[in-house]
Amino acid sequence: MEVDKNRLVATLQSLIKIPSFENSLAISGFVKKELEGMGHTVFSDEDGNIITEIGDGSGFILNAHLDTVAPGEVWSKDPFAGVVEGGKVYGRGASDCKAGVAGMIEIARMLAKDKPTKRVVLTFTAFEEGYPLEKNGVYRLIKKLKCIERGISMESTTTGDTIGISIGCRGSANYIIDIIGKRGHSAYAKPEDNPINKVPDLMKEISRIPKSKLHIKSIDEHVEDANIVTEIVAKEGQNVVPGKCRLSVNRRSLPDEGPEEFLPKLKAACKKALGKDFRIEQESGIQGYIFDDRGFLELCKKTIREAGAKPLPKFEMARIDSSILHNFAGIGTFMMGPGSAMQAHTIDEYCEIDGLVKATEAVLGLIRKWDESVEFVPIC
């Protein structure tokens, strides 16, 4: 084992103890101090996005995001204590994505001792969790990412003794729909004036929008798009019929669909359910992607096996930052990292220690093999 298990766990605990659901400045300061203590030169911006580069020449990028969602409901354990129990580290962000951050810090430490021949670029980024493209930390750093051949997003793909390799993901876009009604006193308003009463008809029409499906031959996986109503807001008083009811619709699209392509379909559903009594607005969306590189995939599988785990090539149903590296920087990127995706955003979130160690070992092994023998065409 090349990585230090105890140090890796301690680093994850330290990261969990720094809340990063409102901003990433404090946790960014911690990461920067750790990297500079190893002798690395670090760039950081006003949002807490970090870049450090090790070595020279064409590059390999690792990325993990620093921000988390809020802790939410009452936990059985302190979400910011980093409790270790039963071979797991508990806390908000333990899997999503502070395990990946801890793994990258450990890899940076290993590479400081044994510098790579080629260049390894590490990016720790802010504003991944539900923010528009323009705010996303990876997108903000795109112009600084030069001559990078391949990359790994160290988001959570590890469950038990299996480490997933996500070769792509669905896209994500959000739409705001205002159902227009007639504001009035609840004692006198007519049922047809209440926009809340129109919500079921609209949701029914949204559910009738035809699904798109895709078969990814290289991993023999079938996927389809999805439309999910995630918020309904109509609050003007307990005895007031609201003048509008606002719905948020989250679109999970297949890789070949751009953010603008779904809007006409959603407008048609709104028109059928509501007539003219609606307004619709699209927020920034991020398109999905597929990176079908068999050679790179086999290399990832080999390093996972050497770390004592089983590889599982797959397609990611959530939108991940590797899509931005692929779509906006042309970097061939997979997602592969410690922590379980099923733990993301949950109460009593945890990361299995064995998976934390093995996934970090696998990514470090991948960098070593890439550095020693694998040649790709650099994108400059």
- Residue 1 in this model has a pLDDT that exceeds 80: no
171-282 CATH, one of 3.30.479.10, 3.20.20.70, 3.30.70.360, 3.30.300.20: 3.30.70.360
- Residue 376 in this model has a pLDDT that exceeds 90: no
pLDDT band at 380 (very low <50, low <70, confident <90, very high): very low
Is the bond preceding residue 97 a cis peptide, omega within 30 degrees? yes
Residues 6+ apart with CB under 8 A from 264: none
pLDDT band at 348 (very low <50, low <70, confident <90, very high): very high
Nearest to 102 by CA among 69, 129, 66: 66
Q: What is the Cα–Cα distance from 330 to 150, expressed in whole angstroms?
A: 9
pLDDT of residue 379: 43
Q: What is the Cα–Cα distance from 63 to 329, expressed in whole angstroms?
A: 14
Phi, psi of 186, rounded to the nearest 5 degrees: -65, -20
* Token pair belonging to 224: 């389809």
- Residue 373 in this model has a pLDDT that exceeds 80: no
Beta-sheet pairing, 162-169 with 310-316: parallel
> 73-77, 164-168, 198-202: lowest mean pLDDT where?
73-77
pLDDT band at 147 (very low <50, low <70, confident <90, very high): confident
- Residue 109 in this model has a pLDDT that exceeds 90: yes
Q: What is the mean pLDDT of residues 128-152?
A: 91
Cross-strand bridge partners of residue 162: 159, 310
pLDDT band at 375 (very low <50, low <70, confident <90, very high): low
Give me the architecture of the 5-169+288-372 domain, per CATH. 3-Layer(aba) Sandwich (3.40)
Whether this model's pTM surpasses 0.75: yes
138: left (phi over 0), alpha (psi -120 to 50) or beta: alpha
**Sign, Cα dihedral of 292, 298, 304, 308:** positive
pLDDT band at 315 (very low <50, low <70, confident <90, very high): very high
- Residue 312 in this model has a pLDDT that exceeds 80: yes
Alpha helices in 25-141 (DSSP H): 25-37, 98-113, 137-141
Q: What is the mean pLDDT of residues 67-72?
A: 95
Which run of H or E residues covers position 272?
A: helix 263-274
Q: What is the mean pLDDT of residues 228-243?
A: 95
pLDDT band at 372 (very low <50, low <70, confident <90, very high): confident
Residues 6+ apart with CB under 8 A from 203: 229
Domain boundaries, given as residue ranges, for the chain: 5-169+288-372, 171-282
Tell me whether the CATH fold assigned to 5-169+288-372 matches the one assigned to 171-282. Answer: no
* Token pair belonging to 376: 């790709």
- Residue 216 in this model has a pLDDT that exceeds 90: yes
Q: What is the Cα–Cα distance from 151 to 309, expressed in whole angstroms?
A: 20
In the chain, the largest separation of any two C-alpha atoms, in whole Å, equals 77
pLDDT of residue 378: 46
